[in-house]
Amino acid sequence: MNINGGFRIHGNNSRALAIKNLRLYARSDYSSEDKFEHDLFNVAITDAPVYNNNEYKRIMLRGNGSGGSIAYDVVFNRVMQPIYNGVARIQPAIHFINGEFWGLTAIRDRMDKRHYALNFDLDDDEILIIDCKGVNCDLDEGEDADYDEYIAMRDFILDNDLSVQANYDQAANLLDMESYIDHMILEVFAANDSYERAFWKVRTPVNNKYGDGKWRVSMQDFEASLKDNINWLENWTDLNNASNDALLNSLFASTQFQNQFINRFADVLNTVLNTTYFNEVVNFTFDEVSPYLAEDE
């Protein structure tokens, strides 16, 4: 791929490091081709309506993939990819700038409104995203009134008795429970201490699938994972949690949700979180980057 494009440093933590996290931009300001078009990944986004899409408006170069916490991030994203489209695809790559070797990086989906538009056949101007880091959630894409919709969904779940079926049915019309459960399963299993996630949806429903107007959840990263000294299921059901962290506890009031959560957790533990499959992903990722680790140091 050879195209004029833009780039900027992504995030804050890598600014102090030699290898920066970068965000690449395709825009008509830079080139007559306003999209990157390339087969960057060897897997498709599960259940995405535009299954074979190879167009991107943004591309992430994030993490050197050489071990430590970055390895957690690559593995947990890859493990869940076959069954949950709330995680990014990741492809380790060798990084050159102006022909000079800059170590290992990882090409990733940039999960913004353009990602959902291109892969889920939606209008990017209609996509709302609420970015949550710990207890704080802020509007990332949309208008102020769109943030109020997230608050209304959150507060309905927190303020109503979901053991009443009519209340739970209404909650399920606001929040896609399958997406929410999958993200919580991954959080609990990965023992993820950062808990960065995003809620997204379309403003005006256009279909009965991903354009249905329900909130869904995507994950940020897993670099702060494997905190084994904490019971994370207990943590996310603590009655003292702040509002943005309290949804799971309220949802457990519903027997229907309990059964769906337990059954899905069991299914996931017996498939992509099965020890054999998990180890295969770990070993595949290590084998992929190991020839370059000595030079990456």
**Does residue 118 lie in a domain region?**
no
Residue 33 has a pLDDT of: 85
**Per-residue confidence (pLDDT) for residue 69, from 0 to 100:** 53
Q: Are residues 281 and 254 located together in one domain of the fold?
A: no
Based on the fold, state whether residues 264 and 281 are members of the same structural domain: no
Q: In this structure, are 164 and 224 located in the same domain?
A: yes
- In sequence order, the β-bridge partners of residue 9 are 22
Inter-CA distances, 111 with 83, 108, 198, Å: 17, 9, 9
Angle at CA of residue 187, ends 182 and 193, nearest 5°: 160
Q: Tell me the Ramachandran region of residue 67: left when phi exceeds 0, alpha when psi lies from -120 to 50, beta otherwise.
A: left
130 and 108 assigned to the same domain: no
Residues 155, 240: one domain? yes
What DSSP string runs through 15-61?
GGSSS--EEEE--TTT-S--SEES---SSPPTT-SSTT--EESEEEE
Q: Where are the alpha helices (DSSP H) in 141-254?
A: 144-159, 165-174, 177-190, 232-236, 247-251
Residue 1 inside a domain? The answer is no
Contact 141, 127 (CB under 8 A): yes
Residue 25 structure tokens: 């931009």
Q: What does the alpha-carbon distance between residue 19 and residue 113 come to, in Å, rounded to a whole number? A: 27
CA distances from 206 to 48, 60, 256 (A): 16, 29, 27
Together in a domain, 103 and 52: yes
Looking at the fold, whether 255 and 164 belong to one and the same domain comes out as yes
Concatenating the DSSP letter of every residue in 127-143 gives EEEEEEETTEEEEEES-
Q: Do 11 and 67 lie in a common domain?
A: yes
Assess if residue 297 is contained within a domain: no
**Predicted local confidence at residue 67, as pLDDT:** 42
Q: How many C-beta atoms surround the C-beta of residue 127 within 10 A?
A: 22
Per-residue pLDDT of the chain (297 residues; tens, 9 = 90+): 889 999 998 877 777 777 788 999 999 888 888 899 999 998 999 999 998 899 999 999 987 544 445 678 888 999 999 999 999 999 888 888 899 988 888 899 999 999 999 999 999 999 999 999 888 999 999 999 999 999 999 999 999 999 999 999 999 999 999 999 999 999 999 888 778 899 999 999 999 999 999 999 999 888 778 877 788 899 889 888 999 999 999 999 999 999 999 999 999 999 999 999 999 999 998 898 888 888 876
Q: What is the pLDDT of residue 68?
A: 46
For residue 80, what are the domain limits? 6-112+275-292
Residues 62 and 147 in one domain: no
| In-domain check, residue 234 | yes
Long-range contacts of 160-167 (CB under 8 A, 24+ apart): 161/253, 162/250, 162/251, 162/253, 162/254, 162/257, 163/253, 163/254, 163/255, 165/254, 165/256
Does residue 225 lie in a domain region?
yes
Indicate whether 157 and 71 sit together in one domain. no
Co-location of 143 and 239 in the same domain: yes
When computed from its CA atoms, the radius of gyration of the chain, rounded to whole angstroms, is 20
Q: Is the same domain home to 107 and 142?
A: no
Sequential DSSP letters for 48-99? -SSTT--EESEEEE----SSHHHHHHHHHHHHHTTT-TTS--EEEEEEEETT
Note whether residue 142 is domain-resident: yes
Position 201 in a domain? yes
For residue 6, what is the enclosing H or E element? strand 6-9
Question: How far apart (Å, rounded) are the C-alpha atoms in residues 137 and 130?
Answer: 6
Domain count of the chain?
A: 2
